[in-house]
């Protein structure tokens, strides 16, 4: 007969054994499979439910949808799902490979813009800004409208059909030749001109120019991009904080806690743009080391202010004012950091825990149907966000992040 202490020991061992059996430790392969399914489901949900978002009310060339398509392209590169490629190709064909609204007869050439800008400089008449914005929404010079070109360039490379880029080359060569260079402190006065006067534009414009260079080999595009990038950097980068202001109007603004205003998604745009430029920039390009240095600085800063739940808050230096986790900024940060690990620029031992926390947070934001939640609405600075908030660019950020993390987990 068993003694009392023997019975207790047996029960304890049995309890521990059952507990350990119930605690399933996921392998990297398990996590990759779960991530791949979550990404495909989120793309499919967005494809079927675009009308539910503001992005669904915009043309496919708009930056909102184009960011989603850019993420879907990266998903295709890791999944090789032919249906994804078919869908993305249909987007380009549906747009006839155009940039923005190119309605014939509209006043949207750069010479016209410059004349209007000159009037503004002389009169400081805000009505002229309204005129320029109205015209600018139909131009091919506005950086937001260049986001879709990143997808065109990838499709041109995959399909070996450079004719996809015929209209892009025409518009971009006009910008390069014009080489517009105006003061950017009045963001609203110049944002439609082709200047990158707001940090978001560093995701929209530079990767498009870099990718077109990659396809065509025309170094003019890369040199133009490089000059414009560092002009934006000189205006908007805070070297002490190692973060970007959204635009010049935020240089002196403060959050409720007295900290400077640094918007999560805005800095996410920058980091996303950085890695997409570095991905195609030649190893021997003269200023490449500066891009890498900037990337490492921002990576260190961003990692240091990640919150315990894996998210970053809408306001990077004042997390308590907008306490909910925010998906779009988190997605871009996760994407950039994972890319840095995959390409040998960031120490895996230091940054992988940050990446894993963020991808787990992102996956918790995807509901059972594939809807990505906690996405801050279209804006220009930190705002409150709720669990049910979604947008197409938030899906894009998740797909970009997931595609790079998928590679990390495969090593």
CB 79 within 8 A of CB 36: yes
| Backbone dihedral angles phi then psi of residue 119, each to the nearest 5 degrees | -60, -40
Q: How far apart are CA 136 and CA 331, in angstroms?
A: 29
Task: Check residues 180 and 275 and name the one with the higher pLDDT.
Answer: 275
| CB count in 10 Å sphere of residue 111 | 10
Chain centroid to CA 250: 21
% of the chain beyond a pLDDT of 90: 74
Write out the catalytic residue numbers.
200
pLDDT digits over 188-234, tens only? 778 877 899 999 999 999 999 999 999 999 999 999 999 999 999 99
Report the alpha-carbon distance of residue 209 to residue 344 in Å, rounded.
24
Distance of CA 333 to the CA centre of its chain: 8
- Whether 35 and 359 have beta carbons less than 8 Å apart is answered as yes
Domains of the chain, first to last: 38-102+219-409 (1.50.10.10)
pLDDT digits (tens, 9 = 90+) for 121-176: 555 555 544 545 444 444 688 899 999 999 999 999 999 999 999 999 999 998 99
Q: What is the pLDDT of residue 59?
A: 81
Contact criterion met (CB below 8 Å) for 53 and 392: yes
Distance between CA 366 and CA 176 in Å, rounded? 41
Evaluate if residue 387 carries a pLDDT over 50: yes
How would you class 259 by CB atoms within 10 Å of its CB: exposed for 0-12, middle for 13-18, buried for 19 or more? middle
Look at 24-33, 131-140, 371-380 and tell me which has the smallest mean pLDDT: 131-140
Q: Are 167 and 104 in contact (CB under 8 A)?
A: no
Q: Do the beta carbons of residue 328 and residue 372 sit within 8 Å? A: no
């Amino acid at each position: 007969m068993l003694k009392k202490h023997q019975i207790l020991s047996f029960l304890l061992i049995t309890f521990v054994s059952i507990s350990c059996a119930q605690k399933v430790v996921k392998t990297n392969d398990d996590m990759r499979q779960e991530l791949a399914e979550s990404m495909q489901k989120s793309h499919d949900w967005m494809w079927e439910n675009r009308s539910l978002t503001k992005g669904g009310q915009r043309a496919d060339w708009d930056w909102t949808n184009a960011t989603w398509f850019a993420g879907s392209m990266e998903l295709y590169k890791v999944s090789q799902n032919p249906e994804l490629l078919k869908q993305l190709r249909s987007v380009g064909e549906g747009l006839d490979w155009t940039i923005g609204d190119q309605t014939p007869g509209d006043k949207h050439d750069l010479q016209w813009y410059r004349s209007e800008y000159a009037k503004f400089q002389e009169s400081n008449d805000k009505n002229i800004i309204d005129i320029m914005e109205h015209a600018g929404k139909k131009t091919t010079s506005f950086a937001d409208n260049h986001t879709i070109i990143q997808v065109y360039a990838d499709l041109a490379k995959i399909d070996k059909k450079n004719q996809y880029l015929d209209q892009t080359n025409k518009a971009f060569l006009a910008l390069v030749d014009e080489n517009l260079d105006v003061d950017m402190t009045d963001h609203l006065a110049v944002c439609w001109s082709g200047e990158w006067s707001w940090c978001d534009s560093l995701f929209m414009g530079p990767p498009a120019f870099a990718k077109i260079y990659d396809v065509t080999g025309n170094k003019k595009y890369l040199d133009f991009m490089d000059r414009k990038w560092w002009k934006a950097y000189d205006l908007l980068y805070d070297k002490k904080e190692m973060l970007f202001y959204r635009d010049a109007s935020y240089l002196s603004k403060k959050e409720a806690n007295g900290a400077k205003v640094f918007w999560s998604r805005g800095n996410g745009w920058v980091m996303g743009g950085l890695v997409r430029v570095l991905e195609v920039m030649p190893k021997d390009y003269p200023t490449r080391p500066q891009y890498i240095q900037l990337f490492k600085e921002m990576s260190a800063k961003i990692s240091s202010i990640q919150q315990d739940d894996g998210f970053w808050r809408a306001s990077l230096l004042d997390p308590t004012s907008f306490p909910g986790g925010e998906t779009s900024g988190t997605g871009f940060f996760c994407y950039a950091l994972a890319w840095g690990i995959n390409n040998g620029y960031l120490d895996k031992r230091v940054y992988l825990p940050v990446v894993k926390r963020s991808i787990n947070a992102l996956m918790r934001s995807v509901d059972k149907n594939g809807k990505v939640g906690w996405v801050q609405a279209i804006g220009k600075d930190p705002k409150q966000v709720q669990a049910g908030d979604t947008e197409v660019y938030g899906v894009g950020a998740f797909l970009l992040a997931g595609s790079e993390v998928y590679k990390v987990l495969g090593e």
